[in-house]
Chain A
Amino acid sequence: MSGLSLAQRIAVWDVASTAVRKFFRTCGAREVSTAIRRRAPAIEPYIEPLTSEARYLATSPELAMKRLLAFGSGDIYQIAHVFRGGEAGERHRQEFHLIEWYRLGFSLEQMMGEVEQLLTHVHRALQSELPALELRPWRVGPRRRVTFMDLVRETTGFELRGDESAAELAPVLTRVRLQAESSLGLPISADADASRHSTTDGGHSPGEVERLADWTEFFSLWSHLELDPWLRQHGHEGLYVHGFPTALAALSRIRGPVAERFEFHVGDLELANGYRELACGDAQRERFARVNALRRREGRLALPLDDAFFEALRNPGLPDCAGVALGFERMLMALLGCTNVAHVVVDDECV
């Protein structure tokens, strides 16, 4: 489907956002709108915050919303404007919207269920209020769940637990690097071996930073080489990948050898990331600091740590909860069958 007219895009945005709000009103979650400019952003290996007047523009509302949860907000949701530097393409824009919500006491499984319920609800609203609009068919009902490790085994033959050290991960990482070199023309990074010899990483055991670096590289390459083609074949209805490697836990809890994290994809289009939220302030601080060490090693800027955030996790403390971030534009692309984000955006620059 090619681009919708401006009038159609405005109608779609209006109906979809109203449907999202109605869904959460029914669930009992309250809408919040948190500040976009922050003193300190969430720290991820490959998400680059933009800045404005000595503040960082939020790449996600997560830190702000978790503080609200710690201070007793109860279930909350937001349709947030977020900004990510250097992301532009058919499926990426530097500025986009995330529907992010948190539910106290939810398991990861319950959270996954809510993602498909929300999408079904929005689809139904679009169908009934905009009957002339061409929507992709949407089956009502639960979508398939697959574990990350099962997919690694199916696509590479390697059996992984999820908590492997860098040394244990090396054979599968090497295979994926060679595959990237031959099928993508992606030269193996000159840093790949050099970084192994660095002895200091700002006080972090080099082993942990290396583990993060290697798992992140594995995930980045494997995602494109193996996961995306697999999803194109098996995931066109929508599918959850869960049980991520512990090194890639980000802000989620760890349970045994895996992180309590899931992603929801429609075909190879990633729509959502969900967690059972990590409540331990010290562990979270440690993780962010480790990501900073990785960023510095790769020649990128380290980012300031949000001490107010870690403190709120310690005191008053984050209640037991699960959360999801779902791309609004991606949701529309999936429901409408658009391949280019520019076709769904309501923006005077995209007219």
Chain B
Amino acid sequence: MDVSELKKGAKIKINEHPHTVVEFQFVKPGKGQGLYKCKLKNLVTGSAFERTFRSGERLEAADVESRSYTFLFASADGYTFMDGETYEQVEVSEDIVGDGRHFLVDQLAVDLLFNDGKVIDCSLPSHVVMEITECAPGVKGDTATGATKDAAIETGHTLQVPLFIKQGERIKIDTRTGQYVERVNS
């Protein structure tokens, strides 16, 4: 593709690896050549770097496809997901799943990124609702102080929650930051 077709999130191939364009800046003096200053992330290694392209350059699009899979279970070898239409199962290693593993609940829909047939990235929805499996008793009325306490969720992961949260309640969590968002009334 022509470099002028670059968009945030575009997938391009550099040195045989797929990369995503995290962000870019187009600079051009009125009568000079334009430059595309890009922040790129290697989707296989995860490394981030900067690279500049000249306007008029041609880039190779990466063969990268995102498909929706649902989470089935975790095992010693990895995390197993299933394609809802083909029932095809795929096992993804912990380092690809990353911190998202703390928020995987049964049947959770995720987007798996395939490059040349291999899963290179797993993205969760930005919020999940999970149950508090363990925490200190709720302190009624204490909504204003902002003080927090430890709580464990279904996967065993712990995070900070407001003092009024009780064991057994369901909360919404931001999967990008790992933080408590709000209590959910079931």
> B80 to nearest A CB, angstroms?
39
A248 within 8 Å of B (CB atoms)? yes
Does B32 contact A219, Cβ atoms closer than 8 Å? yes
B186 within 8 Å of A (CB atoms)? no
- From B28, B32, B55, residue with most partner A Cβ within 10 Å: B32
Cα(A44)–Cα(B28), bound, Å: 14
Cα(A183)–Cα(B15), bound, Å: 20
> A315 to nearest B CB, angstroms?
28
Does B35 contact A186, Cβ atoms closer than 8 Å? yes
Does A87 contact B28, Cβ atoms closer than 8 Å? yes
Cα(A299)–Cα(B49), bound, Å: 29
Cα(A184)–Cα(B40), bound, Å: 13
A223 within 8 Å of B (CB atoms)? yes
Does A217 contact B35, Cβ atoms closer than 8 Å? no
- Secondary structure of the A contact surface, majority rule: loop
User: In the complex, what residues of B have CB within 8 A of residue A263's CB?
Assistant: 30
User: In the complex, what residues of B have CB within 8 A of residue A110's CB?
Assistant: none
Does A44 contact B31, Cβ atoms closer than 8 Å? yes
> B92 to nearest A CB, angstroms?
31
Q: Which residues in window 43-61 of B have CB below 8 A to A?
A: 49-56
Does B25 contact A88, Cβ atoms closer than 8 Å? no
Cα(A184)–Cα(B37), bound, Å: 7
Cα(A90)–Cα(B36), bound, Å: 12
Indicate whether A86 sits within 8 Å of B55 (C-beta atoms), given known contacts A184-B37, A185-B49, A185-B50.
Answer: yes
A270 within 8 Å of B (CB atoms)? yes
B100 within 8 Å of A (CB atoms)? no
Q: Which residue of A lies closest to B7 (CB)?
A: A88
User: In the complex, what residues of A have CB within 8 A of residue B30's CB?
Assistant: 263, 270, 273
B34 within 8 Å of A (CB atoms)? yes
> B62 to nearest A CB, angstroms?
18
Q: Which residue of B lies closest to A265 (CB)?
A: B29
B4 within 8 Å of A (CB atoms)? yes
A145 within 8 Å of B (CB atoms)? no
Q: Which of B31, B33, B34, B49 contacts A217 (CB 8 A)?
A: B33
> B98 to nearest A CB, angstroms?
26
Does B4 contact A86, Cβ atoms closer than 8 Å? yes
> A157 to nearest B CB, angstroms?
21
Does A185 contact B26, Cβ atoms closer than 8 Å? no
Q: Which residues in window 10-43 of B have CB below 8 A to A?
A: 25-35, 37
Q: Which residue of A lies closest to B6 (CB)?
A: A88
Cα(A46)–Cα(B54), bound, Å: 11
> B150 to nearest A CB, angstroms?
38
User: In the complex, what residues of B have CB within 8 A of residue A89's CB?
Assistant: 25-28
Q: Which residue of A lies closest to B31 (CB)?
A: A44
User: In the complex, what residues of A have CB within 8 A of residue B35's CB?
Assistant: 184, 186, 220, 224
Q: Which residues in window 227-242 of A have CB below 8 A to B?
A: 227-228
Can you sample 22 A-B contacts with CB below 8 Å?
A: A45-B31, A45-B33, A46-B31, A86-B34, A87-B26, A88-B26, A89-B25, A89-B26, A89-B27, A90-B25, A90-B26, A92-B28, A184-B35, A185-B51, A186-B52, A186-B54, A216-B32, A217-B33, A220-B29, A220-B35, A250-B31, A299-B56
Besides A44-B31, A92-B28, 15 more A-B contacts (Cβ < 8 Å) are: A46-B31, A85-B4, A89-B27, A89-B28, A90-B25, A184-B37, A184-B50, A185-B49, A216-B33, A219-B32, A220-B32, A223-B29, A224-B29, A270-B29, A270-B30
